Structure 1
């Protein structure tokens, strides 16, 4: 559900802010695109988890756990990189 909400919010933001390209440039539009991408990723990961739990498929649930672990590691890495580059 959260992935769909992010997808909708990012899409609406991207749609309504396109008229401001002349004034602010294209760098502002990176944020809605990132939100759309994260929403899509969260939605796909949750679909994998739902399918694995409904079918009680061990392999799909292991894949889901692996993807979640990878997402947590990526989040920790990005947090560390953001913290280290805050002084630049």
Structure 2
């Protein structure tokens, strides 16, 4: 993450206190979490969604957390029946 604590809060910064080395961790090659986060695609449009990447076998950050967009979509929207055209509210 690019988030860092300001100098005013350095006494509370675990990375500084414990000298945690910075590590860059990349998502698996086919993972499209970045595109989902940017709103470029919806979770089911990811190549790995619901196949290789599930809540039981998460590959990307958005499936790891139960509050992630992919995990929430998998649990709550994936099996939802489509709304009938006659019951849709006009925009």
TM-score range, shorter chain: under 0.3
Which structure is larger by alpha-carbon Rg, 1 or 2? 2
Greater helix percent: which structure? Answer: 1
TM-score computed with the length of structure 1 as normaliser: 0.25
Which is bigger in relative contact order (C-alpha 8 A, separation at least 6)?
1
TM-score computed with the length of structure 2 as normaliser: 0.24
